[in-house]
């Protein structure tokens, strides 16, 4: 069992990582919450796998439990689904001392967290992430949101969970595509902060070897994220490092209406394309883009989106990270060392090659 504390004063919490943790998750939640009612928010895919079992575990602990289920996929992370969920909490008669549990991947965690942040101006929530991407990134750090037509995560809050319970055995039901989707974010952590992690991921013989060691990858990524969030909870500086590959990645995802590339695949394209360009511009150590390319190819992650530069620029212009006349890009000096680079909007095309 690995325990990683996220020290944020009154909003501090612990990330617990262990194989088989799921068995005792009801007891763990009871030890943290005096709630009478628990709303388990999840999607149809995860509910079919784990919903009933979680309801039984929580009921055994004396909670009154309801499962609120929405259809899976980023295109359901909407204000409409959010409204349905908040209304469901109200109809269930939940009070300030009750609890939301987010059971699922990044979409579920973001949406359920935003419901918890908004209902009665904020009630407790706990994250049980079930995908690699949510275990190493989105369940940690308190960014909760829904998408608007104008862009991803445009309505949201910073709202920390009371705990994050990660059982890496739950990844056994993840498809290969989504294992690799999450791995793109692990590669990102390696790129921006940890060359040894990058080398480790590049070195696994195959997916079986990766999965055999996945606890250590998850723990390393969570620890990196925890230290960054502790220093910059509200994303005004250092935390932006976590956006490496994301500005272009979000634009790619959005360009295809979230139906062609997954989040991790978008990030993979963004990391490679930007680094190829910054290397050409002499800003990144030679050979970095090639190393990124080789690890992405190893895990069947895409390198290009096949979209015209002008179209991507158009989508990027609407990205929330565009701040007035400039945008903050994350650039690698070398593998393991990312830096923030404020770029004038007029200069952005140069970084797209």
Q: Note whether 239 binds ligand GLY by CB under 6 A.
A: yes
Is-contact 91 136, C-beta < 8 A?
no
Instruction: Decide if residue 232 touches ligand GLY (CB under 6 A).
Output: no
| Number of residues engaging ligand GLY in binding (CB under 6 A) | 6
Asked whether position 113 contacts ligand GLY by CB under 6 A, the answer is no
Is 248 a residue that touches ligand GLY (CB under 6 A)? no
Q: Which stretch binds ligand GLY (CB under 6 A): 136-144, 150-158, 279-287, 297-305?
A: 136-144
**Cβ 181 to ligand GLY, closest distance in Å?**
14
Considering the rule CB under 6 A, would residue 230 count as an interface residue with ligand GLY? no
Contact (CB, 8 A) for 44 and 70: yes
Listing DSSP states for 284-299 in one string gives S-TTHHHHHHHHHHHT
26-34, 137-145, 163-171, 186-194 -> range binding ligand GLY (CB under 6 A)? 137-145
**What are all long-range contacts of 318-325, with beta carbons under 8 Å and residues at least 24 apart?**
318/150, 318/151, 319/151, 319/247, 319/250, 319/251, 320/151, 320/152, 320/153, 320/154, 321/240, 321/243, 321/246, 321/247
| 136 part of the interface to ligand GLY, by CB under 6 A | no
Asked if 137 interacts with ligand GLY (CB under 6 A), we say yes
CA dihedral 165→171→176→182, nearest 10 degrees, is 10
Nearer to ligand GLY, 57 or 225 (CB): 225
Our CB check for ligand GLY shows the closer of 66 and 322 to be 322
Give the nearer residue to ligand GLY in terms of CB position, either 65 or 316: 316
Cβ at position 247, least distance to ligand GLY in Å: 12
141 binds ligand GLY (CB under 6 A): yes
Q: How far is the CB of 137 from ligand GLY (least distance, A)?
A: 5
Task: Give the SS3 label for residue 329.
Answer: strand
Residue matched to tokens 């388990």: 40
Q: Which strands make up the sheet holding 124-129, listed edge to edge?
A: 2-6, 13-17, 163-166, 124-129, 99-104, 37-43, 64-70
CB of 239 to ligand GLY, least distance (A): 5
> Where does this chain touch ligand GLY (CB under 6 A) — which range of 2-10, 195-203, 235-243, 323-331?
235-243
Interacting residues toward ligand GLY by CB under 6 A: 137, 141, 143, 235, 239, 242
């Amino acid at each position: 069992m690995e325990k990683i504390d996220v020290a944020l004063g009154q909003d501090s919490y612990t990330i617990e990582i262990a194989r088989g943790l799921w068995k005792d998750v009801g007891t763990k939640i009871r030890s943290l919450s005096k709630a009478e009612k628990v709303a388990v928010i999840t999607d149809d895919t995860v509910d079919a796998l784990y919903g009933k079992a979680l309801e039984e575990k929580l009921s055994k602990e004396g909670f009154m439990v309801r499962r609120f289920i929405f259809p899976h996929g980023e295109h359901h992370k909407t204000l409409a689904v959010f409204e349905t969920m908040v209304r469901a909490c109200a109809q269930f008669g939940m009070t300030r001392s009750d609890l939301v549990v987010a059971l699922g991947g990044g979409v579920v965690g973001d949406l359920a967290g935003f419901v918890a942040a908004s209902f009665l101006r904020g009630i407790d929530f706990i994250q049980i992430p079930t995908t690699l991407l949510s275990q190493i990134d989105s369940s940690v750090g308190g960014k909760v949101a829904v998408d608007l037509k104008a862009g991803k995560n445009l309505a949201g809050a910073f709202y920390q969970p009371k705990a994050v319970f990660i059982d890496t055995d739950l990844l056994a039901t993840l498809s290969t595509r989504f294992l690799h989707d999450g791995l793109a974010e692990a590669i990102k952590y390696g790129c921006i902060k940890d060359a040894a992690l990058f080398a480790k991921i590049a070195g696994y013989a195959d997916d079986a070897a990766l999965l055999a060691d996945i606890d250590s990858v998850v723990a390393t990524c969570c620890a990196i994220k925890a230290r960054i969030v502790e220093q910059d909870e509200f994303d005004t500086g250092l935390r932006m490092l976590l956006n490496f590959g994301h500005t272009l990645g979000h634009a790619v995802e959005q360009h295809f209406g979230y139906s062609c590339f997954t989040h991790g695949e978008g990030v993979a394209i963004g990391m490679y394309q930007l680094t190829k360009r910054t290397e050409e511009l002499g800003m990144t150590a030679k050979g970095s883009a090639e190393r990124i390319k080789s690890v992405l190819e190893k895990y069947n992650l895409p390198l290009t989106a096949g979209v015209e530069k002008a179209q991507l620029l158009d989508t990027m212009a609407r990205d929330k990270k565009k701040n007035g006349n400039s945008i903050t890009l994350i650039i690698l000096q070398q593998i393991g060392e990312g830096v923030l680079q404020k770029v004038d909007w007029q200069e952005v095309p140069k970084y797209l090659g």
